[in-house]
Amino acid sequence: MSTTFPSDITTLWQLVNRYSPSGKETAAVETLLARFDELGYTKAFRDAAGNAIGIMGSGPRQIVLLGHIDTVPGEIPLRLETLPNEGEVLFGRGSVDAKGPLAAFTDAVAAVGAREGWQIIVIGAVDEERESTGARFIAQQANYRPEFAIIGEPSSWQRVTLGYKGSARAVMRFERPLTHTASAEMSAADTACAWWQALSAEVAARNTDRARAFDRLQPSLRGLDSGNDGFTEWAELHLGCRLPTDVPPQAWYDLLEGIEPRGEVMPQGYAIPAYRGEKRTPLTRAFLGAIRTAGGKPGFVVKTGTADLNIVAPVWGCPAVAYGPGDSSLDHTPHEHLPLAEYRQAVAVLTGVLERLTAPAP
């Protein structure tokens, strides 16, 4: 185990060393802004939402690399270890999700430097693990209109993520007049259980011909509550659902409303539609070439989670993908760690992508 680190992972080490669960990102944002200055970025500042912004160059054309600087709770001691089959790895909360990708963005843009005619913008967005207030703010700003967008999420250095499922949360509430427990009437809790069984059957029927998880409705029961005031009893089911591209959030809420026995649908938080980008664009071609140049075998994936890609890509309307080093199966786990070799490969790939996208036309 080591607490010293190679100089070429300074950005990664500094970011992961600043524990920053959602809502407590200030110290990590300040660290990233200082790193932008150290690496010679043209401009570095914190915006009104609390996001860290670093801009390289001053041309009229834009590329945005949007990562998130917050993490889930649960601090993991920062350390280097050598693991079988992985070599030297960095343990720490956020090393994979998603400070590894954000640090790789920062280092790659510094390696490329200012490119004539271009602004290359790195964003460390806040609150992605909750309601994505940072990305929502960015999407509303007229000064961000990129020609290409890369979102920082772990996919392994050889893979590019084209899309993520949508998500929607709701509370289903059922109320009934309070009755004696010896009566034959269904209680509010009985009704809620019957409703959940009916929903599950309906979803199973709709998923019959959908072999891939990306294309399926994936509801989950996240919690339940019940009680009474002496006259009326109630039961609530707390639901989440991962949505495919052909089921927007409102269609999901409409489905919930139509399931018998009827209850009250109460949407929670921000619902996010699914997003899937195109496979054949100048951006994906740049990634394919850069990964091959770095010695990798490129591949495309879609994921069943939800990311800031879903929020900004439809607004910007430009080629957009998610990319970053790390094994996403380690997201949010107590074993979160990133191999340093993979981090370096991702920086090389991103450097190659940016060089290809900003190269002067022949």
Sign of the torsion angle spanned by Cα atoms 251, 218, 161, 31: positive
* Residue of 25, 107, 127, 128 marked catalytic: 128
Both tokens assigned to 350: 């991103």
Q: Is 336 a catalytic residue?
A: no
Biggest CA pair distance of the chain: 84
Distance CA 330, CA 321 (A): 21
Q: What is the pLDDT of residue 143?
A: 96
pLDDT (0 to 100) of residue 5: 83
Q: Which two tokens stand for residue 320?
A: 């957009």
Q: Please provide the size of the chain in residues.
A: 362
What is the phi/psi pair of residue 259, to 5°?
-75, 135
Token pair, residue 361, equals 């036309």
User: What distance in Å separates the CA atoms of residue 252 and residue 132, rounded to the nearest whole number?
Assistant: 21
Asked if 353 and 290 count as a contact pair (C-beta separation under 8 A), the reply is: yes
- Residue whose structure tokens are 């954000």: 102
Per-residue confidence in pLDDT tens, the chain, 362 aa: 556 788 999 999 999 999 999 999 999 999 999 999 999 999 999 999 999 999 999 999 999 999 999 999 999 999 999 999 999 999 999 999 999 999 999 999 999 999 999 999 999 999 999 999 999 999 999 999 999 999 999 999 999 999 999 999 999 999 988 876 656 678 999 999 999 999 999 999 999 999 999 999 999 999 999 999 888 999 999 999 999 999 999 999 999 999 999 999 999 999 999 999 999 999 999 999 999 999 999 999 999 999 999 999 999 999 999 999 999 999 999 999 999 999 999 999 999 999 999 998 87
Residue 274, phi then psi, degrees to nearest 5? -70, 160
Between the alpha carbon of residue 119 and those of residues 60, 109, 114, the distances in Å are 7, 10, 8
| pLDDT on residue 4 | 75
Active site residue 129: no
* Separation CA 41–CA 51 (nearest Å): 16
Q: What is the pLDDT of residue 328?
A: 94
CA-CA distance, 23 to 16, in Å (whole number)?
Answer: 16
Catalytic position from the list 25, 70, 127, 331: 70
Q: How many CA atoms lie within 13 A of 155 on its CB side?
A: 30
Instruction: Characterize 340-350 residue by residue with b for buried, 16 or more Cβ atoms within 10 angstroms of its Cβ, and e for exposed.
Output: bebbbbbbbbb
Angstrom distances, CA of residue 109 to CA of 40, 41, 259: 10, 9, 51
**Cβ–Cβ under 8 Å, residues 153 and 98:** yes
Q: How many CB atoms lie within 10 A of CB 58?
A: 12
Residue 191 has a pLDDT of 94
d(CA 62, CA 118): 6
pLDDT value, residue 182:
59
pLDDT at 180: 63
Task: Report the side by side order of strands in the sheet with 232-243.
Answer: 218-228, 232-243, 166-177, 264-272
Cα separation, 93 vs 70, in Å, equals 10
The CA distances from residue 334 to 79, 84, 95, 330, in Å, are 13, 18, 11, 8
Q: Tell me if 282 sits within 8 A of 326, measured CB to CB.
A: no
In the chain the domains, ranked by start, together with CATH numbers, are: 7-164+274-358 (3.40.630.10), 166-272 (3.30.70.360)
What is the spatial distance between Cα 287 and Cα 298, in angstroms, rounded to a whole number? 8
